[in-house]
Amino acid sequence: MTGGFELAVSADIVVACRDAVFRDNHAMCTLVHTVSPDIVGAMSIRKLPNIRDVADHDLFLTLTDGVHAIRGHPQLLPRLCGLFTAKMISLASIPVTAEQALHWNIISKLVDTVEDLMSAAMRIVDGLVYNKGPIIRKLKQTMQSAFGLSYGEARKLELQRDIEYYKSLGDRLSGVLAKGTERFDQRVKELLG
């Protein structure tokens, strides 16, 4: 639900099984602000209990409709699935099936069963481990920085980052390129079989 959905939306790579269901329930939660000798704060509940039951606990209550998402989720979701789909998901709190989540770019990969999750995730992890950390960080930073730019501006940024990266290698450049070529050829053989 909301916490898991926010985690999925903010993750770099998400693998889900076919029977997974996602839901943004910020709009349907009721926030109960409490003030009592024992409790001062706020709690989020999905369904407000009978107000008489709550009142029996000698709490002073104020109710608000919905909980505002504040961890970047309202900005990330429309970038993944489009503004109108994001509005439907968040404002109507509709359940999103794994098939829909894949189609709407909320998840990266769909597997058939829960048992398939670990092996699918480990194949992705193997690829991440095989590729070296510094270049993965640079590629991710470039993708994220360029995402909101026009294609032309994004290509300029990419070229600038490429130049910076290769300059940062200094005297190691030719060795890194030779090793990269060797690793690429080896990986192609491994994958093809």
At 44-97, the pLDDT tens digits run: 444 444 444 444 444 444 445 555 565 667 788 898 999 999 999 988 889 999
Return the half-sphere exposure (C-beta side, CA atoms, 13 A cut-off) of residue 109: 17
- The number of beta carbons lying within 10 Å of the beta carbon of residue 90 is 21
3 state DSSP class of 41: strand
More confident residue, 43 or 11: 11
pTM above the 0.75 mark? no
Distance between CA atoms of residues 17 and 97, nearest Å: 10
Distance between CA atoms of residues 106 and 140, nearest Å: 17
